[in-house]
Structure 1
Amino acid sequence: MSELTAKRSAVTAARLALFLVFRIGNERYALQAVEVAEVLPRLPLKPIARAPEWVAGVFAYRGAVVPVIDLSALTFGQPAQARTSTRLVLVHYRPDEATPTQLLGLILEQATDTVRCNPADFQPYGLDNRQAPYLGPVRKDAQGLLQWVRVADLLDEQVRALLFPAQPLDLLKEPS
């Protein structure tokens, strides 16, 4: 009987996924942990001239330059507050199967908790929000609603071209 219980527990655990929970203002959001590469403290960033206000800048990480967006500024037009719990979260960004995975930095407030739950518990919230396609379904728990942020849908085509140009600049080429 204990072997059967162990198998059922393993199946139940397999259905559960880990999510990193953060806040924008008073609202709770979550990223699926498999999309998170690393959680870092907030670091100094180099601004990108003439980029949208929610593009926080870039920083060097293990030999690569990583673009960073402020999810609070993207979502509600207000930059993330500088708190001790504000983190720079590196995610695996891949908008589609044809594009290689790249690192993208997200500035997230109060990104200090995780929750393990069944992804099927998240349900549509009844609004077709074309301005924020990355805001996915919601899940109700004891603390209220938790909304899933889909990393693949964070950037539209124009911003993706700005942050991840298909043709990198040729620095050795003579200017015309």
Structure 2
Amino acid sequence: MSNDSQNGKHHEGDVAFIQSLAELLNASDLSELSVKREYGEHDRLTVSLSKHGKPVAFAAPAPAPAAAAAAPSAAPAAAAAQLPAVSEDPASLPGAVTSPMVGTAYLSAEPGAAPFVQIGQAVAEGDTLLIVEAMKTMNHIPSPRAGTVKRILIDDGIPVEFGTPLMVVE
């Protein structure tokens, strides 16, 4: 079976992901956005979007590491401060905790309450890290491992997609 037909079957959600990125770019003050997703050793998606007449690039999943070198440089520092998950690709980190569903992520049980976890906090396997609300249901997202919260990659109350990196627990 060819690589193209395998990718077509396994990554049909990439079109919706790219459309979401375009909407994010249009709704923000960002001028460009680059994302690289690694699905496997020889399977990746690289997307670069830009406003103001700059070229827009889309690189389909490619087997060669050269695809990473072909991607444009990371977004400006201001964009990195707003969207660290996009510019640094933390989904590839060994301790990354990703969203198991589409919804809205909340870092605390209710507005004004203390967050479930903070950077530097030790957590046990199964401890609640955050909540993802989907269809009016609050889904507690547990820590997949015992460790320390190294990074929180999202802001409270933002929409997330399936597979969105949320935190890093190592």
Greater strand share, 1 or 2? 1
Return the TM-score normalized by structure 1.
0.24
Return the TM-score normalized by structure 2.
0.24
Higher normalized contact order (CA 8 Å, seq sep 6+, divided by chain length) = 1
